[in-house]
Amino acid sequence: MGVTASTVPFCVCEDVERARYTGNQEMSHLKLSVVTITLNEEKAIGKVISDVQAATKGDCEIVVVDSSTDRTPEIAESMGARVIRQQPKGYGIAMRTALLSGSGDVILTTDCDDTYPMEMIPQFLKYVEEGYDIVSGSRLLGHLKPENMPPLNWFGNWLFATMTSVLYGFATTDVTTGMRAYRREVLHGIDWETNYALPAELIIRPYLSGCKIKEIAIPYRERVGDITLNKWRSGKAFLRGITKYKFGWQIDPNLL
Ligand SMILES: Nc1nc2c(ncn2[C@@H]2O[C@H](COP(=O)(O)OP(=O)(O)OP(=O)(O)O)[C@@H](O)[C@H]2O)c(=O)[nH]1
Ligand SMILES: [Mg+2]
C-alpha cells in the first residue's frame, strides 16, 4: 500500500467494532516498535516499559523520545529502550520523531503515563495482520470511569470525534487517543504538519488517502504523575486541525 498526501481521497468506511481482549492471542510475526514520548515521566516509565515487555514477551523495539529534566531517560535506557533526547517543543513534534524512528513493520504509540492498556498490544497487531493499516484504540468505546477522564475532557474528546465523523464521513469515537498501531508505510507516506493536533491528523489524512482503519474499545486508566499538556492549547489546535483538512484552510503551523 502506498499512501501519499496527494492520493485522490476515496471512502473506505470500516465498521467500528467493540472488541475484547481475551489475553491469550498468539503474537504476530510482524516486527513491532512501541514508541512513546516523555516529559518528566519518571513515576510511570518503568511500569509502561515493563508492561510492553510483558505483552510482547520482550520481542519488540522500544523507542522513547525524551525531553525530561528528571530521571526518565536513565530509567528507560536501563530497561533496554532506545532513548532519543530532544528539547521540549510539544506533543506532536516529539511524537513525529518517535513515529519516524521506529524500525518495525508496525509502529504502536502510547503516552508514557500508564493510562493505556499495553496488555492489548497483541490484539492491535492481530488487526494489522488481518490487513488494517491503522488500528486505533478508542477510550470512549471502552468502559470509562469518570475519575480517569474528567467530564470536560470527555466532552472535548466526544466533540472532536463527532466533528470528524460529520465532516469526513468517517465513523469514529476517538480522534485524540494516544494508543494506535500503524503500518510503517502509512507514517512514512505523509508529511505530517501539526503539533498538538497530531493525533487527529494521524487518522484524518490516512483516511482521506484510502487507508483501512479499525477502531477498537480500550480501557483508560488514571494517569500516573502530573499532566504535561495544556488542555486549552491542545483543544484549540484540535478544532483547527480537524476543520483544516475539510476546507483546505491555510493555518499558521504554530497554532496547530
Ligand atoms: N518528549 C516530549 N514529550 C512530551 C511533551 N509534551 C508532552 N509529552 C508527553 O506526551 C504524553 C502525553 O501527555 P499527557 O500529559 O499525558 O497529556 P494527555 O494524555 O492529554 O493528558 P492526560 O489525559 O491527563 O494523561 C506524555 O507521555 C508526556 O510525557 C514534549 O514537549 N516533549
Ligand atoms: Mg496522557
Q: pLDDT tens digits for 57-89?
A: 999 999 999 999 999 999 999 999 999 999 999
Question: Residue 22 — very low, low, confident or very high, per pLDDT cuts 50/70/90?
Answer: very low
Residue 219, number of CB atoms within 10 A of its CB? 17
**The model's pTM:** 0.89
Ligand 1, pocket residues at CB < 6 Å: 37-39, 41, 65-67, 86, 88-91, 94, 111-113, 115, 178, 223, 227-229
The confidence score (pLDDT) of residue 7 equals 37
Give the dihedral sign, CA 78/29/97/218. Answer: negative
Distance, CA of 1 to CA of 169 (rounded, Å):
22
The domain limits of the chain are: 32-246
User: Is 256 a residue whose pLDDT tops 50?
Assistant: yes
* Fold category of 32-246 in CATH: Spore Coat Polysaccharide Biosynthesis Protein SpsA; Chain A (3.90.550)
154-166 pLDDT, tens digit per residue, is 999 999 999 999 9
Instruction: Please identify, by atom number, the ligand 1 atom nearest to the C-alpha of residue 153.
Output: 23
Distance, CA of 92 to CA of 102 (rounded, Å):
15
Question: Residue 146 — very low, low, confident or very high, per pLDDT cuts 50/70/90?
Answer: confident
Burial status of residue 166 (CB atoms within 10 A of its CB: 0-12, 13-18, 19 or more): exposed
Helical packing angle, 121-129 and 45-55, nearest 10°: 50
Neighbouring residues of 6: CB distance < 8 A, sequence distance ≥ 6 = none
Site to probe by mutation for ligand 1, drawn from 66, 91, 99 as the one with most ligand atoms within 8 Å of Cβ, is 91
Distance, CA of 223 to CA of 148 (rounded, Å):
7
185-209 pLDDT, tens digit per residue, is 999 999 999 999 999 999 999 999 9
User: Is 109 a residue whose pLDDT tops 60?
Assistant: yes
Lowest mean pLDDT among 67-71, 231-235, 251-255: 251-255
Q: How many CA atoms lie within 13 A of 181 on its CB side?
A: 28
The confidence score (pLDDT) of residue 1 equals 39
> Which ligand gives the minimal distance to the CA of 116?
2
The closest of 200, 213, 211 to 245, measured between CA atoms, is 200
Q: Pick the more confident residue, 247 or 22.
A: 247
The confidence score (pLDDT) of residue 207 equals 98
Alpha-carbon 47 to chain mean position: 18
Q: Pick the more confident residue, 228 or 137.
A: 137
Site to probe by mutation for ligand 1, drawn from 229, 232, 233, 236 as the one with most ligand atoms within 8 Å of Cβ, is 229
